[in-house]
Amino acid sequence: MNMQDFRLDGKVALVTGASYGIGFAIASGFAAAGATIVFNDIKQELVDKGLAAYKEAGIEAHGYVCDVTNEEQVNNLVATIEKEVGVIDILVNNAGIIKRIPMCDMSADEFRQVIDVDLNAPFIVSKAVIPSMIKKGHGKIINICSMMSELGRETVSAYAAAKGGLKMLTRNICSEYGEQNIQCNGIGPGYIATPQTAPLREKQADGSRHPFDQFIIAKTPAARWGTPEDLMGPAIFLASDASNFVNGHVLYVDGGILAYIGKQP
């Protein structure tokens, strides 16, 4: 092995929902490693914002409007990418949502919406890209899992159920298609400082940390929130030839939370 094994030159990478945040950071890392970047979002406005952000970062990305929960739209998206950019070598199932609602207050429709975006969509998009990966003789699929793939917490029953399911979907794609030289792994981010988590990090009126912010810092051996950039290296590894014998694994990038019981009161 040499450092070239970590390069992604000539690879086409589709990162779903990568107009900003974690997806944007991962795609930017891929671009720095030589990949051609393709992303989608659910609205043209978000795609346009994403394209502007990539351009500002010096990255020539290809953006498309697609609802990843809609199988017909996804199949059309993959066909368009193959025609206009090339066969997808790397897929990152990043698009996701969370609804922080106590379980008994959550409607079945709200539960289904989270499952649809966070679990059904990775199934739909993976299913769409795998046939061409098989024909090409290789492929990398990375599912953005979560610490909630392992842990439960108040108000996130749908999210935890979806991310637990995504961990098992990751293992099953490995089981079904590993022999076709397709590696499917997951990344389980810890608590990452993104716009989605910004309300949990807001300073209180007296200047103190938000109670949840205090809780996370106390539970994390690294004593900080992660950044989207913390996910770049792990994603590049799992997308590159350096990980060709890593399959069905979830790499937790959490500052040590899952290894830590917490400080004694």
| Catalytic residue set | 159
* Residue 58 exposure: Cα atoms within 13 Å on the Cβ side: 4
Amino acid at 217: I
Residue 190 contacts residue 257 (beta carbons within 8 Å): yes
CA distances from 188 to 38, 51, 138, 250 (A): 22, 26, 23, 6
